[in-house]
Homo-oligomer: A and B are copies of this chain.
Amino acid sequence: MVISSVVHHHSVWGHWTQLRWLMNFHRRTMVQWSTAPAQWTLKQKEPVLMPWGASPQSRRALHPASPSFQEVMLTSERYNVQRLPFSHVSNDDVAFFECLMPGRVITNPEELKPFNVDWLKSVQGCSKLLLKPQTAAEVSQVLRYCHERNLAVNPQGGNTGLVGGSVPVFDEIILSTVLMSQIISFDKVSGILVCQAGCILENLNQYLEEKGFIMPLDLGAKGSCHIGGNVATNAGGLRLLRYGSLRGTVLGLEVVLADGSVLDCLASLRKDNTGYDLKQLFIGSEGTLGVITAVSILCPQKPKAVNLAFLGCQSFTQVLKTFTTCRAMLGEILSAYEFMDDKCMELVKRHLKLSNPVTGSPFYVLIETSGSNSTHDEEKLNNFLEKVMISGLVTDGTVATDEKKIKMLWSLRERITEALTHDGYVYKYDISLPVGKLYDLVTDTRARLGQCAKNVVGYGHLGSGRVLEESLRLSSSGDYCFSLFSVSLPHMFCIKEMRGKQEQPIACL
Contacts and interface: CB of A to CB of B under 8 A. Distances in A.
Interface of A: 8-9, 11-13, 15-16, 18-19, 21-22, 24-25, 189-190, 233-234, 236, 240, 244-245, 247-248, 257, 259, 261, 263-265, 267, 269-278, 280-281, 283-285, 289, 298, 301, 303-304, 324, 327-333, 370-373, 376, 379-380, 432, 435-436, 464-467, 486-490
A19 B465 contact: no
Given A16-B263, A244-B248, A372 B328 contact: yes
A271 to B, nearest CB: 5
Given A247-B280, A248-B244, A486 B273 contact: yes
Contacts of A245: 248, 271
A372 B380 contact: yes
The 4 A-B pairs of least Cβ separation, nearest first, read A270-B465, A331-B372, A12-B275, A280-B280
Determine how many copies of this chain the complex contains. 2
B277 A284 contact: yes
A465 B271 contact: yes
B22 A276 contact: yes
A487 B274 contact: yes
B376 A432 contact: no
A272 B285 CA distance: 12
A274 B465 contact: no
Contacts of A284: 273, 276-277
Contact of A432 (B9, B269, B331): B269
Contact of A466 (B18, B190, B376): B190
Contacts of A432: 269-272
Interface core residue of A24, A280, A327, A467 (most chain B CB under 10 Å): A280
A275 B244 contact: no
A289 B277 CA distance: 12
15 contacts: A21-B22, A236-B271, A267-B489, A269-B432, A269-B466, A269-B488, A269-B490, A270-B432, A271-B432, A273-B284, A277-B283, A301-B328, A303-B331, A332-B370, A373-B379
A11 B18 CA distance: 27
B269 A18 contact: no
A277 B22 CA distance: 12
A235 B301 CA distance: 25
